[in-house]
A and B are shown apart, each in its own frame.
Chain A
Amino acid sequence: EIVLTQSPASLSVSPGQRASLSCRASQSVSTFLAWYQQKPGQAPRLLIYDVSKRATGIPARFSGSGSGTDFTLTISSLEPEDFAVYFCQHRSNSWTFGQGTKVEVK
């Protein structure tokens, strides 16, 4: 089973600044990787799929990159509504999530 490891566990960033979140897979996941955003008390929301494609309605400040085993979610300029927890996810034999990165206000 593929294990996804996210880093850092938490990230303190000022509004307007850039945030880069990492997701590392225990073996290659090709291009089948997604990112989700979750705010307190809400269901997760799909942000990015197939490594770099933005889901419907997702602002351009969110971008995904990477290949093989190393992936990055970048938020180019943090808006107040972007402070949340972010998860990466892959499907192989089963569906797997990373443990999450919390983006907090600095």
Chain B
Amino acid sequence: EIQLLESGGGLVKPGGSLRLSCAASGFNFGDYIVNWIRQPPGKGLEWVSGMSGSGATSFYADSAKGRFTISRDNSKKTLYLHMSDLKVDDTAVYFCAKADRGLYFDHWGQGALVTVSS
């Protein structure tokens, strides 16, 4: 069974930093693009960042460029998102999701809530 489990969410002040982790199991982790997708409270889905299976290529939404860094450790089957200079508008549930053929999100984690507030 494929599972994705996010951790590292919490309350952080504006301007602060946080690192999210996504532990994967049940599939060949290094063969797939894995992504971060967020959802502000009561709003829609926004893709944030993704990384190729090898880690050689990373992708970022404009809202994440320069502040967020995605990385992965294939030996640990874990994806990370380091977020810095956090803003109130970054408050959201952050989901980790595996991309099938690099196109669609066929498996999702349960999400980690990040709250940016003073």
Contact = CB atoms under 8 A, between A and B. Distances in A.
Interface in B93-118: 95, 97, 99-100, 102-106, 108-111
A2 interface: no
A97 B61 contact: no
Interface in B32-64: 35, 37, 44-47, 50, 59, 61
Contacts of A38: 45
A64 interface: no
Contacts of A94: 47, 59, 61
A37 to B, nearest CB: 12
Interface residues of A, number: 21
Contacts of A49: 100, 103-104, 106
B104 A46 contact: yes
Contacts of A62: none
Contact of A87 (B45, B50, B108): B45
A95 B109 contact: no
B47 A97 contact: yes
Interface of B: 35, 37, 44-47, 50, 59, 61, 95, 97, 99-100, 102-106, 108-111
